[in-house]
Structure 1
Amino acid sequence: MSERNDDDPVQTSTEQMKEIMAEEVGKAIEGSLSGFIDKIQNTVLSLVEERVKRLEDSVNLIKEKSGECKGCSYKEFMACKPPIYNREVDPIICQRWISDVEGVFERTHCDVGDFVAYGMGQLRGQAKDWWDNKKKEIGAEAARVMTWDEFKVPFLKHHSPKAVINRIKEEFIQLRQKGESIDKITGIFMDKLRFCDELVTTEEQNIYYYYNMLSAEYREFMTPSNYETLTEIINTAREREIELKKQVERGERRAHDVNPSPTKKARTTEEGKKVEAKGGSPSCKVCGKGHKGECSFKDKPCPICGKTGHTASLCPGKVSVCYKCYQPDHKKSECPELVGKRDTKESSTETPKAKARSFQLTAAETKTEPNVVSGIFSINSIPARVLFDTGANKSFISHGFI
């Protein structure tokens, strides 16, 4: 067996190459790792700087907004042209004014403590007189520190009284389209609707009351159960109005047939009754009107109960509403409140009227009485003297002497 030769030049060269390669690979790895770490550090730093900048911008923006929310001057408030209120009693305009003024408060970022001072600057006429009297009643200091919510309580109590609101509710129930355009009658309907929260509680009831308000030219082409929102039936009524106007322009319908006046409608009803009395078409069991042929309402569901075979006016499930207390199942003439008052009035005794009395004086008494003033006139061509007692407020007539 031959011994290993350490002086072998080939073996020595191989080992040196391995050492050189290992050293170079180590240097390369070290250089790459260092660059990779530097790259990561630079990326992280840039992200952190960007996030810090965004946070600073957000803080500055919040500071700017908070500075605006501290309040506005009266000049800035007036620049938004807040509405003026100069009426004494009108619930619709009163509550609309409050809503509009509160909108200006919000847009101008008005300070809460300035609501009353700025708002009262928009009162005129009788409304201004009411506020001046109110300040005298509660005192200047109490008026100065009064909040907007505290102000609205007496303001609404005076300018939007319950009695007037009850009248608006009654007008809402009886509201009918009498020649007005759809936009106009819809505006009246919406103004009165805001005071009928306890009467109209669902969207279905909104639709029914609106449908019942429309004239026959609109109702005959509409079915309340087909609509889910009040906006839908209003838009349908507008479309129907456009179609009616086109029919007038084409000569297919006379202009006064669209939204006829109540007088014409009553006259038409009376003429229909006369025709029926003379042997015309009998009254339909579905709609209650006299006509020939099949009734167009036969297959249309009733807006109250949803069944077919009758209209809303003839619905057996129709609930009458009292116009006094707005409770169902009785009429205004049968309202317990009115019946109680009527019984009280009937039970009270009437004050007896004073009977007429006449007095007579002789000629000698008239001359001696200091409070009697006399005058002469004729009764049926007979001279007579009128005597008036200034002390007792009595008058006398003495005949037969002058």
Structure 2
Amino acid sequence: MSGGASDNVLSLTTDELKEKIAEEVGRAIEVSLPRFVERMQNTLLSTMGERIGELREDLTSDRGKAKEKKGCSYNKFMACKPPVFNGEVDPIACQRWISDIEGVFERTHCDESDFVAYGTGQLRGQTKDWWDNLRNERGVETIRAMTWEAFKVPFLKHHSPKAVINKIKEEFMQLRQKGETVDKITGMFMDKLKFCDDLVKTEEQKIYYYHTMLRAEYREFMTPSHYESLTDIINAAREREIELKRQVERGERRALDENPSPTKKPKVAESSKKGSAKGGSPSCKTCGRIHKGECYFKNKPCVACGKIGHGVANCPDKVTVCYKCYQPGHKKSECPELVGNKESAGSRDETPKAKARSFQITAAEAKMEPDVVTGNTSEASGSQAGADARQKGKL
């Protein structure tokens, strides 16, 4: 029996042996696979649960940190270079500082509870003294609980009084463009307009007051009803300003004084006076004459030097010739011959000075002359005695 079994085993081929092993391994895997899958599922579930718990803890801590970091730090606030207020009693400067500091609050996402603390840190000079005094009056706890809107009430009352605001309103109504540029006068207009809400309520009124403020050179080419907004009429004024500058460069208009003095009258040149008498056109820089439009001699050669770009009247190489002696270098009025003749004629015309003369008469002759005034009796007798003595001496 044993010999026969061994012979059967030996008689198996290699392929049959491989097939037999594969069957046995498959049966073993089928038996152990459910246990393996179950073990893997348990391991994955436990790992995922632990990881989810860690993520929840991280999220909770991040939210807590985010709540703690709400707003911005003082260093971040100062990094934006907030403006400083020195305490000017000027409503325009005061409103500008408030607007700028609130812009920094918005950009840095600053918490509202820090507005007063951060904002008052930018006060300097007299306004810093005012704030210290207010803080001592109301107490530290009241100041800490103060909101930004509550801070602006006493701040504006002190630095923007009603009397100054009323003065700004008067200046707005009387504002007129003199020698300022459009941008400069527009800036003045906008600064004062902030305090005239009760006077200027609509866009049409803004356009009307802006048009009234401009110079006549601007108003004559601009109609307020043609503009829908204040920006439109401002841009139109800028375009008109550019055109006026071009006219000055072309010589069609005299340049205006940008800083006129209220006490001194502007000096008008000789050529501009002549031009105003003939229609307001200045003298041409090319030919020296008064005309409108492009100069006829612009491309003509100069008769004196042959160059282009100027006339004989403005020729730099022009030689002055005297019409008396026909010598170059001086005019007829400066001719040496005429000057010499005038001096000689003046010397001949001088009359000799009359010499001093004296007249002597006697007292008797003096009595006979009606034009002689005599003194008292003593003086007359003295003069008579003197006259008699002189008469005896002659005899």
Report the TM-score when normalising by structure 1: 0.48
Which protein is richer in strand relative to its size?
1
Q: What is the TM-score when the length of structure 2 is the normalising length?
A: 0.49
Q: Which has the larger radius of gyration?
A: 2
